[in-house]
């Protein structure tokens, strides 16, 4: 029973989660990199009003609505700040980036957390899918699994990867 559960988890659940994670995160990768490179209009965001939506036991999701004034003088209102900085009050002003293809959202300058999160999750999901694909290929061809893939599988508690005795060479 334990081996069957490990097989289902290792061969189906982990790759499905990794694929879903990539589908969810990859669309944000381009925007996140552009913001990190300040590829957009730079300016200032002034917070006006914080609004929160309750998610039951999961707490609240909050965002700031305010005004963005670009260094060029262009002004946009209302815009929403990506993220919910703690300790803000109406009137708080920060440097921000506005992207023309994201007209109702601004992003804080010099905040590495979104880039680290999106890139980190993308890399973890891609690595899990790569390890799974290599293991599946080696399992299907009956060849011995590379030690780095076997190490990943052992660390995650996935099923053994060595070929069945009748395929050993």
Cα-based torsion angle of the residue sequence 36, 40, 43, 46 in order, rounded to the nearest 10 degrees: -80
> Poorest-confidence range of 23-32, 39-48, 60-69?
23-32
More confident residue, 141 or 56: 141
Whether residue 102 is contained in a domain is answered as yes
Q: How does pLDDT run across 101-114, given as a tens digit for each residue?
A: 888 999 887 667 77
Helix (H, G, I), strand (E, B) or coil at 164: coil
Are 44 and 87 part of one and the same domain?
A: yes
Neighbours of 145 (CB within 10 A): 20
- The string of DSSP letters for 91-141 reads T-EEEEEE-TTSTTEEEETT--HHHHHHHHHHHHHHHHHHHHHHHHHHHHH
Q: How does pLDDT run across 138-147, given as a tens digit for each residue?
A: 878 888 877 8
CA 156 vs CA 34, 90, 144, 152: distances in Å: 34, 46, 19, 6
Whether residue 34 is contained in a domain is answered as no
Given a cut of 70, whether residue 156 has pLDDT beyond it is no
> CA 23, CA 81: separation in Å to the nearest integer?
24
Are 15 and 66 part of one and the same domain?
A: no
Proportion of the chain above pLDDT 90, given as a percent: 25
> CA 138, CA 83: separation in Å to the nearest integer?
43
> Poorest-confidence range of 43-47, 120-124, 156-160?
156-160
pLDDT for 69 equals 97
Are 46 and 72 part of one and the same domain?
A: yes
Contact 60, 53 (CB under 8 A): yes
Are 81 and 52 part of one and the same domain?
A: yes
Are 85 and 133 part of one and the same domain?
A: no
Task: Give the mean pLDDT of 74-81.
Answer: 94
Are 125 and 142 part of one and the same domain?
A: yes
Number of domains in the chain: 2
- From 63, 79, 108, the end of a domain falls on 108
Task: Give the mean pLDDT of 105-130.
Answer: 83
> CA 7, CA 121: separation in Å to the nearest integer?
24
| Residue range of the domain that includes 15 | 2-28+117-167
Whether residue 138 is contained in a domain is answered as yes
Are 55 and 79 part of one and the same domain?
A: yes
Are 103 and 133 part of one and the same domain?
A: no
Are 148 and 103 part of one and the same domain?
A: no
Total-model pTM: 0.59
Whether residue 33 is contained in a domain is answered as no
Whether residue 153 is contained in a domain is answered as yes
Question: What are the helix (H) ranges across 11-61?
Answer: 14-36
Most confidently modeled of 129-133, 142-146, 156-160?
129-133
Whether residue 101 is contained in a domain is answered as yes
- From 108, 126, 148, the end of a domain falls on 108
Are 51 and 99 part of one and the same domain?
A: yes
């Amino acid at each position: 029973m334990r081996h069957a559960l490990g097989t289902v988890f290792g061969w189906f659940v982990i790759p499905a989660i990794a694929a879903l994670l990539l589908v969810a995160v990859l669309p944000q990768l381009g925007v996140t990199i552009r913001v990190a490179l300040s590829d957009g209009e730079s300016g200032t965001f002034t917070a006006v009003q914080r609004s929160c939506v309750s998610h039951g036991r999961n707490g609240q999701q909050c965002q700031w609505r305010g005004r963005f004034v670009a260094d060029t003088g262009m002004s946009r209102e209302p815009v929403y700040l990506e993220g919910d900085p703690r300790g803000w009050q109406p009137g708080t002003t920060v440097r921000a980036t506005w992207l023309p293809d994201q007209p109702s959202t601004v992003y804080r300058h010099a905040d590495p957390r979104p880039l680290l999160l999106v890139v980190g999750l993308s890399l973890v999901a891609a690595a899990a899918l790569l390890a799974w694909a290599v293991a599946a290929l080696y399992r299907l061809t009956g060849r011995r699994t590379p030690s780095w893939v076997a190490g990943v599988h052992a660390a995650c508690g996935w099923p053994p990867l060595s070929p069945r005795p009748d395929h050993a060479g």
